Structure 1
Amino acid sequence: MARSQAQDVIRCQYCEDDPAVFHCVPCGDELCPRCKIFHLKSKVPSGHNIIRLSERLHPTNQIKMCDIHPTKAYEACCKDCQVPVCITCIQEVHSEHAIGKIQELFEKQKAETEGELSKMKGQFKSEIIQRIKDFKKGEHEIKRGHENVREKMKKQAQDLIDHIRVILKEALEESEKDERKNSEEISQNTAEAERFEQNLDQLIEKFETLTESSHPVDLILYRKHNPDKFNQLKLPDKLDIVMPSFTVGQINKSQNEHQFGKFTTGKVNNVKSLDEKTQPILRSLSARRKTPSKKVLEHSLKISETKTSKKELYHVSCRDDRSAYISGDGPGILLIDRSGTELDNISTEKVSGLAVMKDGSLIYSDHYNKVIYRVSLSKQRTKLIKIEYSPEGLCCTRSGDILVCMGISNKARVVRYSSSGRKIQKFETDQNGKRLFFDPRFVCENINDDICVSDWNMSNKVVVLNKSGQPRFNYDGRVRSSAIKGEIMTRGVVTDSLGHILIAFFNNNAVHLISQDGDFLSLILTEDDGISRLYGISVDTHDNLWLVEQENACVKVYQYLS
């Protein structure tokens, strides 16, 4: 046992005799007390930070490498941007910013985080447990409430049925009584007519006998004594029979509600109770739980490049991880795979925007006819939405809604429609009445329900709104001034499964990657990668970036996440 313990002792890396008691963080050496003195006298660029060996596994004593420059360690923090930085980060991006110690920023944010953590463990945890109990109780109560309503409906229906049976019985009895009365009246008239017929037959027989076989004196005397016998004949009255009838009562919706009763739906209303500071924390925690473990590559890898039959390309929308729809100058939409093979050619007028719906069908906008069309999987084209202003870019949201860019200047707006074409929301001005856009052309939705709009013309920036349409931030690429040459011209905008926002810059030949909160993260592609005149961009189901170059009419696919 003693031998085993002796073998586990970490020896000094210098003398190799005495047990190591100290650890140098920058050098990674284990030292005994005697060698520690000599080690401190050695000169290294980064200096020495000697700690006790038992403390070396503490997170604050470990070296953390930069996410953007993996070969460089985080050595300080930018006070302006509130992020850790390596020496290369400082030189490239933060040279004019205030630089401080990582530990200072850590202590500040640790205190804030511990306060938030305490609140989450205490108030939020107890409240959410109670909330779940209330929800389950509410579910039970709503179920019981609907059961009571249905029982009342059944009882009311049975009462109406019983009432209708009584009404029917009375109506049938009235009809039978009237039938007996009418029949008696007709029978009396029939008997009178039969008696008249009998008397008529007797008179006919008498007149025939007097004129054909009797003595002439008999006729003379009969007529003498019965001078008005013929004139006294009077036919019974005719009968004008009016048939019975039944007028069907009109039963419409309003009468039905009045007679049967009216059903009022239950409601489940969200009552805002958490303060504004809490919501971002909870959204952030939720996003962390769902975010896949992917990292941005230091250099994007080209997967494929395709020269198309179009003269120019404007739009691309991925259908899956292997194919995408593209459109450009002139009519028609092509479906191509990564190798450039044309899988389908959809006949259309000139296209000003296109997107793929959740069911795989295609939607596209027609700027000139002011219509959104839908093309089913069987290639059946239908007119989905007729629009007041000329539509441009559009996208399908995770819920299945459609966001459409339209109009310019004081008519510029983004409108949300349902999948059936019903208008739901209009985003046009902020809370102060200030216009949000000047010329919106591309739009997409992020995983946190934010709406990202590429605004052209005088703006040339990406405007990011929350789900209710209030502005969160704008981005025009100036934070990365070294990568912007000449006039800023934003084009396509898209998001990926991590919530990153990717923006194409047309004349700057670059794709910027920013966070969902507007922080610059990386240059995915630059002019050095051989890209030119970027227009539309899209991300497939594997988070590969598809882009179209306008003038070259090329489609290129890149991997930018590991």
Structure 2
Amino acid sequence: MASASAFAQHYVECDNCEKNSAQFVCKTCSGHLCEECKIDHENRKLTKNHEITAFKTDKEELLGLLHCSEHNTKKLECFCGPCKKPVCTDCIVSSHNGHKIKTLLTAYEEIRDSLKRTIEVIECTFLPKYCELLRSEDQKDLELRNQANKIEKEIKTYTQNVVGRVMEISKHAIEKLRMEEENGRQELQKSKTELSERMNILQQTRDMLSATLEAKPDISYFKPVDVSFLTEINALPIQTYYQLDKFKPGDIGQMIKDNFGIFAKLRSSRTLCDRSERRSSERWDSQASSNSLMKKIFASPNRKGRFDDRYN
């Protein structure tokens, strides 16, 4: 595995030639130097007394390379608490006089410790709890689907019962129809029987009279024939017509809809987190504001002494 120094050299280029990877750093002018430029730096009259060390990625050491964005020749040495920003000595005199000041390293360590505590809260409190909540949501999702499946079966069973009841009503309606039909046919049969009896009488009378007419006249021929019944027969029976009322369907669809039952409706309820969870949230809120200060410490637009975000 590559060392931290090799890792830094691979990604940070020499500030002088801007071609080779940096292997050294000048603490005096905060410049990154490759091997060749280091030798040249040491041989120049203006820079031969500069303090040059091997380039490392120790964050505490890198703090000493940061320069003020307002006073480019000044290094960031302190941190202003009220303004929540790193400052140089000129900044303190010009605009931060009287403010609560701490060393940049102290501020860095405080923010580092705050970040560690935040990570601990996330890993030990929030993530386990959210994993538990996610498992709970999966279980509730399964229970909800099971509830829906159970209700669906109940609806289908109830529907079959309703259909069965409707079929019973239909069967009863058909039986009633046939009974009414049978009553009408019985009345028609009585009428047909009465008409048939009268027709038989008429036919018998006709045959008797025809026989008398065709026979040889004798003394019986002159005997009067009783046809008084023809007066009664001449009064034709009153005709009775039978007709079944047409079937008029009721609005059973709307009636079933209104009386089918109460449809299932989704209801929800919420539960509050317990006190320990609320305390964790409060600790998180108190630390969240300080976490953003880390970027402010290293947010310097000056190329000289920059701190690569890759090493945050």
| TM score, norm. by length of structure 1 | 0.32
1:57 shift after superposition: 1.9
Query: 2:73 & 2:234 partners in 1: Cα distance?
Result: 135
The aligned counterpart of 2:257 is 256
Query: 2:109 & 2:157 partners in 1: Cα distance?
Result: 69
1:231/1:122 Cα in 2 relative to 1: closer, same or farther (>3 Å)? closer
Larger Rg: 2
Equivalent in 163, 166, 170 of residue 165 of structure 2: 163
Kindly indicate whether the alpha-carbon contact (under 8 Å) linking 1:74 and 1:84 is maintained by their aligned counterparts in 2. Answer: no
Q: Summarize the alignment of residues 126-525 of structure 1 with structure 2, pairs less than 5 Å apart.
A: 126-196=128-198, 199=201, 229-230=230-231, 233-252=234-253, 255-256=256-257, 258-259=259-260, 261-267=261-267, 271-273=271-273, 275=278, 277=282
1:189 shift after superposition: 1.4
Kindly indicate whether the alpha-carbon contact (under 8 Å) linking 1:23 and 1:29 is maintained by their aligned counterparts in 2. Answer: yes
1:178 shift after superposition: 2.7
Equivalent in 119, 122, 141 of residue 120 of structure 1: 122
How many residue pairs align between the two structures?
235
Query: 1:119 & 1:249 partners in 2: Cα distance?
Result: 68
Q: Secondary structure at the match of 2:242?
A: coil
1:222/1:77 Cα in 2 relative to 1: closer, same or farther (>3 Å)? farther
1:200/1:111 Cα in 2 relative to 1: closer, same or farther (>3 Å)? same
Query: 1:103 & 1:173 partners in 2: Cα distance?
Result: 101
AA of the residue aligned to 1:131? L
For CA contacts below 8 A with separation 6 or more, give which structure has more relative contact order: 2
Equivalent in 16, 20, 24 of residue 27 of structure 2: 24
AA of the residue aligned to 1:155? T
1:226 shift after superposition: 6.3
AA of the residue aligned to 2:250? G
Q: Secondary structure at the match of 2:108?
A: helix
Kindly indicate whether the alpha-carbon contact (under 8 Å) linking 2:184 and 2:242 is maintained by their aligned counterparts in 1. Answer: no
| Structure with more helix by fraction | 2
1:241/1:228 Cα in 2 relative to 1: closer, same or farther (>3 Å)? closer
Kindly indicate whether the alpha-carbon contact (under 8 Å) linking 1:196 and 1:235 is maintained by their aligned counterparts in 2. Answer: no
AA of the residue aligned to 2:27? C
1:246 shift after superposition: 2.8
AA of the residue aligned to 1:178? E
1:95 shift after superposition: 4.9
Query: 1:266 & 1:72 partners in 2: Cα distance?
Result: 67
1:163 shift after superposition: 3.4
The aligned counterpart of 1:539 is none
Q: Secondary structure at the match of 2:187?
A: helix
Query: 2:73 & 2:236 partners in 1: Cα distance?
Result: 129
Q: Summarize the alignment of residues 53-72 of structure 1 with structure 2, pairs less than 5 Å apart.
A: 56-62=56-62, 63=65
Identity %: 14
Which runs of no fewer than 5 residues in structure 1 stay unpaired?
1-20, 31-38, 209-214, 285-296, 298-562
Q: Secondary structure at the match of 1:230?
A: helix
1:104 shift after superposition: 4.6
AA of the residue aligned to 2:61? N
Query: 1:73 & 1:153 partners in 2: Cα distance?
Result: 80
Which runs of no fewer than 5 residues in structure 2 stay unpaired?
1-23, 34-41, 211-216, 290-300, 302-312
Kindly indicate whether the alpha-carbon contact (under 8 Å) linking 1:78 and 1:99 is maintained by their aligned counterparts in 2. Answer: yes
1:189/1:117 Cα in 2 relative to 1: closer, same or farther (>3 Å)? same
1:183 shift after superposition: 1.4
Query: 1:132 & 1:152 partners in 2: Cα distance?
Result: 30
Query: 1:87 & 1:233 partners in 2: Cα distance?
Result: 143
Query: 2:283 & 2:201 partners in 1: Cα distance?
Result: 111
AA of the residue aligned to 2:58? H
The aligned counterpart of 1:212 is none
The aligned counterpart of 2:308 is none
1:117 shift after superposition: 2.3
The aligned counterpart of 1:515 is none
1:146 shift after superposition: 2.4
| TM score, norm. by length of structure 2 | 0.52
Deviations 1:205-238 (A, max 9, x none): 9999xxxxxx9xx9x9959x76785367432122
Q: Secondary structure at the match of 2:252?
A: coil
Query: 1:246 & 1:135 partners in 2: Cα distance?
Result: 55
AA of the residue aligned to 1:176? R
Q: Secondary structure at the match of 2:133?
A: helix
